[in-house]
Every structure is written in C-alpha cells, then in structure tokens.
Amino acid sequence: MKNVKTLFNCIVILLAVGILISCGKGEKIQLQLKLKEGSSYEIKAGADQKISQTIQGQKMDMLQKTTMEYTFAVEKVEPNGNATAKISYNSIKFEQDGPGGKIEYDSSNPPAKIPPAAAGFAALKEGTFTVILSPEGRVVDMKGIDKMLDLVIEKLDLPDEATRIQAKENAQNFFGEQVMKEMMESMMAIYPEKPVGVGDTWSKVVLVSKGFPMILTNNFTLKKRKNGIATVEIKSSVQPYPEAAPMEMGPIKLKYELSGTQEGTMELEEATGWSKRATIKQNFTGTVHIEGAPQMSGMSFPMTVEGTITLE
C-alpha cells in the first residue's frame, strides 16, 4: 500500500509539473500573414557583406553595403488570404569597394553616369512591381520586375553596346524576377503550419537558385510573446544547390558551392504576422568554379562570405 501511495504521489507531482510547464508556455498562436487591404508598410532593409576570395594565391576582399527603403502597399486580399501588394522604392544606397575599385550609388544624388554594377539599383528606384504573398509567406506570383529592368537600362546613358549588355546581365543576375522572388521568399516564408507556443520549433526549406545558389534549412523557435509581438529565433544551415544553373556574365560562367550558417532573431506583429524588425548574421564558405574565362577556365578558388542582414 505504501508503494502504491508513493507511486500515486509521484504521478500527481509529474502531472502538476506538466501543468506548470504548459502554463508557462502560454496559449498557442497561429503566426501567419494576415494583411489588410489598404494597409501600407514602410521598410528599411540593409545588407553589409565582406566577400573574400583567393585567386592564384592572391587574397582579394570586397566590401558591399546596401540600404533600401521601400513602401509595401497592400492593394487586394483574396478570401484565401493571398495578398497582392505594390512595392515601390523610395531610397537606395549601394557601396562596393574591392579590387576593381570603389563604386557608389545614391538614388537621392545619382551620378551622371550609372556604373553597370549599379544599373539594377537604378532600375528599382525608377519603377514599381507587384507581388502576391500567401498567408504562409510564399511568393505566389511576381510581376513587373523584368520589364522594369529592361526599360530603365534602355534609358541609361551607357557608353556602348557591350556596356549595355553587361549592365543588363548584372541586373538580371541580381535583380531579375526569379532572383527577387527567391530573395523575398527566403525572408517571408517563415510561418509555421500550425499554432505554436513559446518554446515550440518548426522548420522551412528554401531553394535559392540565383545569385549565390544554396539550400536554406531554416529552423525557428518562438522565444517569447509580449505586448502583441512574437520574438522568433532563427538558426539556418546552408548547403550547396548542385542543380542550380551557373551565373552567366558574358562568356564567363560561375558556379558557386557554399555552405555555412545564418543566425538571428525577428520580431513579428501577432495581429498581422508582419516582421517589424530582424537581424541575421551570415557565415558562408565554399568554392567558386570558373568556365569560359580566358586563362582561367576550369579553375576553382575558395570563397568566404560574412554579412549582416537587417530589416526594420
């Protein structure tokens, strides 16, 4: 009988502990995009990166800093929650400092001649495009990017046809419709499929086929809830995406194989699912394979990327 009472007391204690833990985690919430028709958001996004490469024994560092301010205006919300929004850029700053020299672009004070490397930024500032997002943050459709790039590059005062072609290729490689779609989805496809409580985790896989191709496995943890804001921790593993096509720059083809991690936090507005701010640290290492370049075809060289992404 004594053993039975002891066992019963243990069960009662375990149940009590379980209830306390459950209460500590609080009620669960369905985190997803719940945007309202007619609402508008002002976003400031920044990227600060150091890209290091060692080619034929010579180390070369490139520093890049980009700051974009844009408006996300919700024009329509379907019964299934899919939201159509117009995106227009208000301000863009781009700085690049590397072996090829320094390039700067500021949309508030643009240079007389736009550098080919900055043509894509100039195009974004001049136009608008639309995107359709699902409640899960997936990009259902995106329209207007490629047409916008073509129209703006045609207007640029570029010295010759070769420079125009280079500018168009650069713009497509880093700002084409597929690139922008994947970039947006990597930041927006973060929501769990079911309600979560504090301490719960979930995962999402995102394929990035353009720019620096990679497979992102994003692991999320709901860390806390306070005053209508959900704080989510992000820990991502990065693996090469072998099926991705190489980046083409004229006759040159570049194939990237990168691995590494991304870590950070983001704050989500519980009522709408909108990300109010985020900070993500990046650390990638890998190899770049070159084809088609005179005297360098068939070569490979190591590469590292260190960066910080911010959103507010």
Counting Cβ atoms within 10 Å, is residue 118 exposed (0-12), middle (13-18) or buried (19+)? Answer: buried
12, pLDDT greater than 70: no
229 has a pLDDT exceeding 70: yes
Asked whether residue 136 is assigned to any structural domain, the reply reads yes
15 has pLDDT over 50: no
The per-residue pLDDT for 124 is: 77
- Phi and psi for 154 in degrees, rounded to 5? -65, -30
What the block records as the tokens of 76 is 């329509």
Q: Is residue 40 part of a domain?
A: yes
Instruction: Produce one character per residue of 241-267: b if its CB has 16 or more CB atoms within 10 Å, e if not.
Output: beebebbeeeebbbbbbbebebebebb
CA distances from 203 to 103, 194, 266, 288 (A): 38, 12, 15, 28
Q: Per the domain annotation, does 20 fall within a domain?
A: no
Domain assignment present for 5: no
Q: Are 308 and 226 in contact (CB under 8 A)?
A: no
Among 64-68, 167-171, 187-191, 304-308, which is the least confidently predicted range? Answer: 167-171
Question: What's the rounded mean pLDDT across residues 203-223?
Answer: 92
Between CA 187 and CA 193 the distance in angstroms is 16
Short-list 265, 275, 171, 258, CA closest to 220: 265
For 229, the token pair is: 């804001």
Model confidence at 55, in pLDDT bands (50, 70, 90)?
confident
- Checking if the pLDDT of 199 tops 80, the result is yes
Range of the domain at 91: 30-311
Q: Is residue 13 part of a domain?
A: no
CA distances from 192 to 224, 238, 300 (A): 15, 20, 39
- What is the SS3 string spanning 28-53? CECCCCCCCCCCEEEEEEEEEEEEEE
Give the number of domains in the chain. Answer: 1
Which whole number is the average pLDDT over 14-25? 42
- Could you tell me if residue 16 is inside a domain? no
pLDDT(17) > 60: no
* Helix (H/G/I), strand (E/B), else coil: 78: coil
Residue 169 belongs to a domain: yes
Secondary structure element (H or E) that encloses residue 290, with its range: strand 275-291
Q: Residue 45 domain-assigned?
A: yes
Percent of the chain with pLDDT over 70: 90
311 vs 297, higher pLDDT = 311
Residue 26 is predicted with a pLDDT of 63
Q: How far apart are CA 7 and CA 1, in angstroms?
A: 10
Task: Copy the structure tokens of residue 83.
Answer: 């939201």
Which one is predicted more confidently, 305 or 210?
305
Instruction: Read off the pLDDT band of 84 (50, 70, 90).
Output: very high
- The Cβ of residue 123 has, within 10 Å, a number of other Cβ atoms equal to 25
- pLDDT for the residue numbered 155: 66
CA-CA distance, 277 to 274, in Å (whole number)? 9
pLDDT in tens, 163-181: 777 777 777 777 788 888 8
Phi-psi region of 161 (alpha: psi -120 to 50; beta: other; left: phi over 0): alpha
Alpha helices per DSSP H over 156-249: 161-175, 177-188
pLDDT at 175: 77
Q: Which CATH number covers residue 80?
A: 2.30.230
137 exposure class (CB count in 10 Å sphere: 0-12, 13-18, 19+): buried
CA–CA separation, 298 and 232 (whole Å): 43
Higher-pLDDT residue of 68 and 123 is: 68
**For residues 51 and 296, which has the higher predicted lDDT (pLDDT)?**
51
- pLDDT band with cut points at 50, 70 and 90 for residue 6: very low
More confident residue, 279 or 295: 279
The average confidence (pLDDT) of the chain is 86
pLDDT digits (tens, 9 = 90+) for 237-290: 999 999 988 888 778 888 999 999 999 999 999 999 999 999 999 999 999 998
pLDDT given at position 157: 66
Quick check: 216 pLDDT over 60?
yes
Comparing C-alpha atoms, which of 158, 111, 99, 148 is closest to residue 127?
Answer: 148
16, amino acid identity: A
